[in-house]
């Protein structure tokens, strides 16, 4: 696979701080501590680019990275803060905050929302509500089960099938490991198809 290039662009706490919509954007979203920043780093092959930590809530604000894809496209990757552990839609939306909500609803340059789920937990009510909400807003999504290295191989496909059923997805979610790089080519392909 061709080399990728990535660099930090900017962070924003309010729409006024969003950069111009001059490249297609890919958003990396999911529950707190699920491995969003690690996945982004492993995709672009730059370990310390997006800040990661074992403590939930590491990523605050929305963080933009300018990325050249292996297919030679110029993109922005947007690293999201975690959306917490809300159980009901109202709490979910509160946890999202107007920043994230507003971005997902209105951002014209947004081409794909990567929904990242811990393979050991699978999809819960939060993810179901969230994926539906994205569909209602006309957003293309790619569900990814990450930390695949934490499950034995024999349990990965069944986990993917269970998540596909739980969320009513047309296609199976992708399996990913930021530790081993498994799933990297498939996720790049999904990104390439969305832009």
Sketch the per residue contact string, 62 through 101, with ligand GTP: x for CB under 6 A, - otherwise. -------------------xx-------------------
Q: Do the beta carbons of residue 123 and residue 31 sit within 8 Å?
A: no
Which helix or strand (DSSP H or E) is residue 94 part of?
helix 89-106
Residue 156 near ligand GTP by CB under 6 A: no
Which of 38, 69, 142, 163: binder of ligand GTP (CB under 6 A)? 38
The span from the CA of 2 to the CA of 107, in Å, is 29
Residues contacting residue 167 through CB under 8 Å, at least 6 positions apart: 123, 127, 128, 131, 143, 173
Residue 183 near ligand GTP by CB under 6 A: no
Residue 42 near Mg ion by CB under 5 A: no
Which of 6, 28, 31, 37: binder of Mg ion (CB under 5 A)? 37
- What is the three-class DSSP state of 152? coil
Residues contacting residue 133 through CB under 8 Å, at least 6 positions apart: 89
Q: Where are the alpha helices (DSSP H) in 107-147?
A: 125-136
Smallest gap from residue 9 Cβ to ligand GTP (A): 17
Residue 48 near ligand GTP by CB under 6 A: no
Q: Which does 54 bind (CB under 5 to 8 A by kind): ligand GTP, Mg ion, none?
A: ligand GTP
Which of 4, 29, 69, 146: binder of ligand GTP (CB under 6 A)? 146
């Amino acid at each position: 696979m061709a080399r990728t290039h990535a660099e930090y662009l900017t962070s924003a706490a309010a729409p006024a701080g969003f950069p111009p919509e001059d490249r297609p954007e890919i958003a990396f979203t999911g529950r707190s501590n699920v491995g969003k920043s690690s996945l982004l780093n492993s995709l672009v092959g730059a370990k310390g680019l997006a800040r990661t930590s074992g403590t939930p809530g590491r990523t605050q604000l929305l963080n933009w990275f300018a990325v050249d894809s292996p297919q030679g496209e110029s993109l922005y990757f947007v690293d999201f803060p975690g959306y917490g552990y809300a159980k009901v839609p109202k709490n979910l939306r509160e946890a999202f905050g107007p920043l994230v909500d507003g971005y997902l609803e209105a951002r014209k340059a947004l081409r794909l929302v990567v929904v990242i789920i811990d393979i050991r937990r699978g999809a819960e009510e939060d993810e179901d509500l969230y994926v539906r909400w994205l569909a209602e807003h006309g957003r293309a999504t790619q569900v990814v089960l990450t930390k695949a290295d934490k499950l034995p191989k024999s349990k990965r496909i069944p986990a993917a099938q269970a998540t596909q059923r739980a969320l009513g997805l047309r296609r199976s979610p992708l399996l990913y490991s930021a530790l081993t790089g498994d799933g990297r080519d498939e996720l790049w392909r999904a990104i390439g198809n969305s832009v």
